Each structure stands twice: as C-alpha cells, then as structure tokens.
Amino acid sequence: MFVGTPQFYSLLLFGVLSIVLLAGVLSPSRFSVPSYFRPLWVFFLFFNASEWISFSVAIWILALFSFQALREYFSLVDIRLQDRWGILGAYLSIPFMIYLIQIDWYGLFIISIPVYAFIIVPFLVALGGEEAKGTVFSIGAIDFGLFLFVYCMGHIGYLSLFSTWMAAFLIVSVVLCDLLDYVLRDRAGGGLKSALLKFLVAAPLTVAVSLLMSTWTDIPTLHASILGLLVPVLVLVGNFTIGVIESDLGIARARLQPGKGQLIHGVRSYLFAAPVIFHYIRYFLR
C-alpha cells in the first residue's frame, strides 16, 4: 500500500513545501519563507524525481541547482573580466562531475574536482592573463566556489545513488538543525556556549531521526546513532565557517535576496555535512 511508505512521506513533504513557497511568492509581505526552504524544496523535488522518474533524470536537477549556487557565488566575488575562461571551466566541471555520479564511477568522481578541475581552472585563468596581478586570488576564489557548491553538493547526489533515503536522512537532519538554530539564535547568543547548547538540543533529535529512518536506510543502530551525532557537529562547523565567508562577501542575514546571497545562505548547512556523511556511509556501510 502506498500510504505509509517512504515515497508517500517524501511526496507529502514536497507538496507541503510547494504550498509554503507558493504562499511566500504570492504574499511576500505577509508570509516570509526562511532561506533554507528553497533548497529543501529542490532536494525533495530531486528525491521524488529519483523515485518516480529515474535517478538519471533527477541528478540533473541537482546539477542545475549547483549551477545556480555557483553563479550566485561568482556574482558576489570580485572576479576580473579576464578570468572568464576560468569561470567557464568551473561551470563545465558541473556536467562532468554529475555524469560521473550518474554512471557510478566513484574513482574518477572523487578526483574530478580536487585534481582535474583544480589543475585546469588555474591554466584557464592564466590563459586569459592580460594582467598578472590578482591571479592568485582569482584562482583561489574560483576553485573554492567550485569545491563548495559543486563538489560538496555533488556528494548529496552520490549518496542518493546509494539510497534515496540515506540522502533524505541527511537533508531532514540538517534542516532540523537549521530550525533549532533559528529558534535558539536570539536566546543562545554567540560563542562556544551557544554552539554547545545548539549541539545538546539538536543531537538527541537528529539521533532519533536517524534511528527512526533506519528501517528505510538499512543503517544499523550503532552507525545510525553515530551519524545522528555527527550531523549537528558538521552543521555547526559549516555554519560558522561559511558564516565568516558570507560576511566577507557582504551577505547579511537580514537582507537576503535572490541572487544576492539567499541561495548560498540556504545551502551552507549542507556543505560540510554532505561529504563527511557520504564517506562515513561508503566506508562503513557499503
């Protein structure tokens, strides 16, 4: 029976998120949608497409999403016009990596960005070298954006190739941490005490989610508990690190706009969690 299956809950959540986002579009002044709802909607679109159509189609939804995040990042970084070849190389890395996920070529996927793209992009930047000054910054900025918004995001897609519900566990756990961060932000303040409080509140809930979803993910109880503890730590570390980067890029939480940091802010909680959770599952459970 369809009701009560993981596919049912995935479709139900996608429907609820669609209604919430539509309400935000139709009445933005009365209904403010948190920035992390839009990436969440894309991820559940990806999950449902994977289950109801095919993974080969769904993975290209993630490719478009990575492209949007990378484009927003490049729009905020002070990149020189002569670096356009390096930027083109970064964009072309997306279909290259996504195709490797689609055909399950792990050996080449894992080095696709940090070896080949990281070699090719500096060459392309140098190729447009009308002015040498600023080259090191441009290479670093392009490669770093490629690493975060393509490579790290790509691990969500590869995890979904293992199991849609393993990836869904990651997404749901991260969003739960984001919701708690939103609730505790004003009360907890900042600093180490705030981080500790957020972890202590989030960890029991993410462990519970991991254990509840273990019947869908087939993750043993011990590993499910460890993964549930890992997620809030990785979210805290990722949010802190990307938060500093956002400040450098001029992204302000109070003034998030489409194309001006909204997407980067929405995905930042996944960027450190996705690769670590993926490699834990691949090493211990695959």
Cα angle 228, 146, 66 (rounded to 5 degrees) comes to 70
Residue 141 to residues 124, 135, 193, Cα–Cα distance (Å): 14, 10, 32
Mean of pLDDT over the chain: 90
Average pLDDT (274-278) is 97
Tokens standing for residue 45: 């679109």
- Asked whether residue 234 carries a pLDDT value surpassing 50, the answer given is yes
Cα distances (angstroms) measured from residue 142 to each of 55, 75, 139, 268 = 29, 11, 5, 17
Helix (H, G, I), strand (E, B) or coil at 85: helix
Cβ-in-10-Å burial (0-12, 13-18, 19+) of 229 comes to: middle
Q: What is the pLDDT of residue 209?
A: 96
| 227 or 80, greater pLDDT | 227
- Mean pLDDT for 20-25 is 84
The more confident residue out of 79 and 167 is 167
Tokens read off for 25:
């579009």
Hey, is 43 helix, strand or coil?
A: helix
The ranges assigned to domains in the chain are 6-285
- Cα–Cα distance measured from residue 140 to residue 137, given in angstroms and rounded to the nearest whole number: 5
pLDDT digits (tens, 9 = 90+) for 66-113: 999 999 999 999 888 889 999 999 999 999 999 999 999 999 999 999
